[in-house]
């Protein structure tokens, strides 16, 4: 009978130890579940941020393409204006040289003739 009582006490101690171990496991599991839930919500936030950043990237790509096209157009206009300016400078230089090369002659001053009719009247 004493052996049975010792066996019951030993089983009780084992059950208490197992209950304590189960309690700690359940607490750890609960903490892990909360961390999983927090991680899931963080993952969702990160995914939403990735989608937003992807949309911004696409927008910036479009703006970059537009600006590149505008830059090419501006370069073409600048080159055209520069060519026209160079042509005008060349023409102005040629005209200046032609003006300087032209011999200058004194201008004749003509005295108006007096009309005889005006004196007769």
Instruction: Give first-to-last CA distance, the chain, whole Å.
Output: 178
Domain boundaries, the chain: 9-100
Cα–Cα separations (whole angstroms), residue 90 to 1, 79, 95, 101: 128, 16, 9, 16
pLDDT by residue (tens digit) across 19-77? Answer: 999 999 999 999 999 999 999 999 999 999 999 999 999 999 999 999 999 999 999 99
DSSP 3-state helix, strand, coil percentages of the chain (rounded to 5)? 85, 0, 15
Residue 32 neighbours by CB distance under 10 Å: 10
Per-residue pLDDT at 114: 73
Per-residue pLDDT at 116: 65
């Amino acid at each position: 009978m004493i052996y049975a009582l010792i066996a019951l006490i030993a089983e009780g101690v084992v059950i208490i130890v197992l209950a304590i171990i189960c309690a700690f496991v359940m607490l750890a599991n609960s903490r892990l579940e909360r961390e999983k839930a927090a991680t899931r919500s963080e993952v969702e936030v990160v995914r939403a941020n990735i989608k937003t950043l992807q949309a911004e990237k696409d927008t910036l790509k479009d703006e970059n393409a537009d600006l590149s096209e505008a830059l090419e157009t501006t370069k073409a206009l600048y080159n055209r204006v520069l060519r026209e300016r160079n042509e005008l400078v060349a023409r102005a230089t040629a005209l200046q040289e032609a003006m300087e090369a032209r011999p200058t002659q004194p201008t004749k001053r003509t005295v108006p003739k007096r009309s005889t009719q005006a004196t007769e009247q």
